[in-house]
Amino acid sequence: MHEMSVAQNILEIINEHVGKHEQHKVRSISLKVGELAGIVSESLEFCFLTIVNNTPLAHAKLQIKSIPITAECGACNHVSQLDYGIFFCEKCRSSEIKLLSGKELQVVQIELDD
C-alpha cells in the first residue's frame, strides 16, 4: 500500500520538526495532495491513524487539501483546469500542454496546541 509509506514519511517530517516532548501538542498536519499524486485520501488518513495509534500523536488529524490538475497550453497560452486523463487544451484542443499543478504531495503546516 503506497499510502502507508507516505504516512510513514509524514511521521518522519513531524519527528524532524517537532521535538519528542511536544508531539502530544500536534493538533493537525496540513497536506497538499495533487490529483495526479496517486494518493487516496481516505487510505492515507487510515494509514496515518494506524501508525500513530498509542503514540503521543494519536489525537493528530490530517487536513488534506486536494489540488486540481491545471495546465498551460503551449499553443495558445490558455490556462485551464483539466479532468484526470484528459490532457489537452480546452480552448484550442492542442495536446501541447505544460502541467502547472496536480502532482503535489507536500506537508505545508504542522499545527500545535498552545
Is-contact 110 23, C-beta < 8 A?
A: no
Decide if 20 is inside a domain. Answer: yes
Q: Provide the pLDDT confidence category of residue 114 given band limits of 50, 70 and 90.
A: confident
Q: SS3 for 69-109, per residue?
A: EEEEECCCCCEEEECCCCCCCCCCCCCCEEEEECCCEEEEE
Query: Taking 70 as the threshold, does the pLDDT of residue 102 lie above it?
Result: yes
Q: What is the mean pLDDT of residues 6-31?
A: 96
Range(s) of the domain holding residue 22: 2-67+102-112
Decide if 11 is inside a domain. Answer: yes
Query: Taking 70 as the threshold, does the pLDDT of residue 97 lie above it?
Result: yes
Looking at residue 1, what is its pLDDT? 57
Looking at residue 9, what is its pLDDT? 97
Decide if 74 is inside a domain. Answer: no
Decide if 59 is inside a domain. Answer: yes
CA distance 90 to 98: 13
pLDDT in tens, 50-68: 999 999 999 999 999 999 9
Decide if 97 is inside a domain. Answer: no
Decide if 15 is inside a domain. Answer: yes
- Across all residues in the chain, what is the average pLDDT? 95
Decide if 12 is inside a domain. Answer: yes
Count of domains in the chain?
Answer: 1
Decide if 16 is inside a domain. Answer: yes
* CATH number for 40: 3.30.2320.50
